[in-house]
Amino acid sequence: MISAPSLTSAGLLLGLSFFLGLAFEDFFARSDTKRPGGIRTFPLLAVVGGTLYLFDPTRFIPFTAGLLVLGGWLTIFYREHVRQQDETGEPNVGLVVLALNVQAYVLGAIALALPPWVAVATTVTAVLLLTGRERLHALARRVELKEIVTAGQFLILTGIILPLLPNTPVTTLTTITPRQAWLALVVVCTLSYASYLAQRYWAAAARGLWMAALGGLYSSTATTVVLARQATSNPSMRRNAQAGITLATAIMYLRILAVVAFFNLALARVLAPSLCGLSVAGLVICLLQYRFAPKPALGAKSTATPSAAVNPLELGPAVLFAILFIAVSFVSNWAKAQFGASGIYTLAAIVGVTDIDPFVLNLAQGGTSGMSNDALAAAVLIAASSNNILKALYAAFFAGGRATATSAAVLVLLAAAGVGIAFVVAGL
C-alpha cells in the first residue's frame, strides 16, 4: 500500500504538472505554430521524471539519463524553431518552451523529494512568468538603463560590501560599527528607493494624494516643498496640496516607527503610541482638509506632476547619508558626555532642520549609550517636531503664506503636540 506522504506527493505532482500544462496551452492557444508541451505532455514528463528519480534517489543516474534524452529532443526542436520567424521577421530564439518542458520533467523529482512548498513555488513562479510576458516586456521598455545599473549597485552594496564590513567599533568616539552604519544606509535607502520607483513609474502617483503619501515615505520635507509650489502655481491643486502636506507628515511618523523597529524593537514599543497617535491625528486633519476645503472651479485642469526626487541609491545621496550618520554619531556622543540628556534633546532640535534619519538611526542602534528608552523616544519626538517647524516655514515661504497657510498651522500644531508628548515620555 502507498503511504500517505507518497500519495500526497503523487497527487501534488499530477496537479501541479496539469496546472502548468493548462497555462502553457492557454498562453499559446492563439499561435498557429505547434510547440511541444501542454496539458497532456507536462503531466507525462512529470510522471516520467518522478519515476526515474525513484529508481535511484541517491545518485540520480536514471533521472539524469532521462534529462539528457529530453535535452536531445528539445535541441532538435530548437534548431528547427530558430529557422522560423516571428511576426516582426526576426528568428524565434526564445527559450521559454524549452525551459517549461525541462521544468515539467524536473517537477516530478521536486514533488517527491522536496517539501511541497518548493514544488508549488517553482510551478507558480513559472506560470506567472509565462502569463506575465506582455507586462514584463512593457516594464522592461519603461525602465531606464540607469535604473538597472543602480539596482545592480544596490545588490553590490548589500550582498558584497555589507557582509565584509567589521561589526566592531573602530574608534572610541562612537559605539557604532561600520556594519551598523552601512546597514542603516541600506535600510533607509531601500525604503526611499521603493517610494522613488513608485513615484517615477506608477502613473497614479501623480494624481490625488498618492504623491503625498509616497513622498512621506521618501522625504516629507521635499514633498512639502513640491506641493507648496504647486499650490501657488496652480490654484486647482490647492486643495490636494493642503491635504497632501499634512498627509506626508502623517506618513513620516509611521516611516520613523518602521525604521526604528527594524533596529530596536524595545525603543519602537515606547515610541509606537506617540508616533501612531500623531500619525492618526495627521490623517484625520488631512481628511478634514480634503473634505471641507473649497473644490477647484469647474473646468480647472490639474497639472500635477510627480516630485523630482533624487534617486536615493545613487552614489551622491548615499555617501552624504553615510557621512551625516557618522558625524551625528560623533556629535551625539560628545553632547551626551558634556551635557547629558539635555545635550541630546538640544541636538535633536537642531538636526530637525536637516535630515533626521541619521540622528534617529544613531539612537536606535545604541550610538548614544547610557540613556533610557524613554529619553531616546523623547529625543526622536523632538527631532520630528523640529522637522515639522522647518516644513511649516517651507510651506509658508514657497506658497507665499496664503495657499498653504492651513497646512503650515497644522504642522506647527503637530510639532507642539510632539514636544509636549516628549516631555511627558521623558518625565520632564
pLDDT tens string 212-236: 777 777 777 777 777 777 766 666 6
Please give the tally of structural domains in the chain. Answer: 2
Residues 162, 95 share a domain: no
Instruction: State residue 105's pLDDT score.
Output: 93
User: In angstroms, rounded to a whole number, what is the distance separating the alpha carbons of residues 162 and 155?
Assistant: 10
Instruction: State residue 155's pLDDT score.
Output: 80
- CA atoms within 13 Å, Cβ hemisphere of 171: 10
User: In angstroms, rounded to a whole number, what is the distance separating the alpha carbons of residues 392 and 409?
Assistant: 7
Residues 159, 295 share a domain: yes
Residues 28, 116 share a domain: yes
Instruction: State residue 171's pLDDT score.
Output: 66
Residues 129, 155 share a domain: no
Instruction: Using the 3D structure, point to which of 123, 140, 157 is the last residue of a domain.
Output: 140
Burial of residue 112 (CB within 10 Å: 0-12, 13-18, 19+) is buried
In the chain, the N- to C-terminal Cα span, in Å, equals 75
Instruction: State residue 401's pLDDT score.
Output: 56
Residues 208, 114 share a domain: no
Residues 301, 264 share a domain: yes
C-beta pairs of 311-317 under 8 Å, 24+ apart in sequence: 311/147, 311/150, 311/193, 311/196, 312/188, 312/189, 312/192, 312/193, 312/196, 312/218, 313/150, 313/151, 313/153, 313/154, 313/189, 313/193, 314/150, 315/153, 317/189
Instruction: State residue 281's pLDDT score.
Output: 92
Residues 310, 178 share a domain: yes
Instruction: State residue 87's pLDDT score.
Output: 54
Residue 127 near residue 157 (C-beta atoms within 8 A):
no
Residues 336, 266 share a domain: yes
Whose cell is 500544462? That residue is 21
Residues 172, 267 share a domain: yes
User: In angstroms, rounded to a whole number, what is the distance separating the alpha carbons of residues 362 and 91?
Assistant: 56
Nearest C-alpha neighbor of 306 from the set 222, 394, 207, 190: 207
Residue 350 near residue 331 (C-beta atoms within 8 A):
no
Residues 240, 126 share a domain: no
Residues 296, 166 share a domain: yes
Instruction: Using the 3D structure, point to which of 124, 140, 156 is the last residue of a domain.
Output: 140
With a CB cutoff of 8 Å and minimum separation 6, the contacts of 283 are 247, 250
Could you write out the three-class secondary structure of 305-320? CCCCCCCCCCHHHHHH
Residues 87, 200 share a domain: no
User: In angstroms, rounded to a whole number, what is the distance separating the alpha carbons of residues 9 and 4?
Assistant: 9
Instruction: State residue 236's pLDDT score.
Output: 63
Residue ranges in the chain modelled with pLDDT below 70: 1-5, 30-34, 81-94, 170-176, 195, 198-208, 211, 231-237, 293-322, 324-325, 333, 336-337, 339, 367-369, 398-404, 428
DSSP 175: S
Instruction: Using the 3D structure, point to which of 119, 140, 161 is the last residue of a domain.
Output: 140
Percent helix, percent strand, percent coil in the chain, to nearest 5: 75, 0, 25
Q: What is the pTM of this model?
A: 0.65
Domain of 352, in residue numbers: 143-426
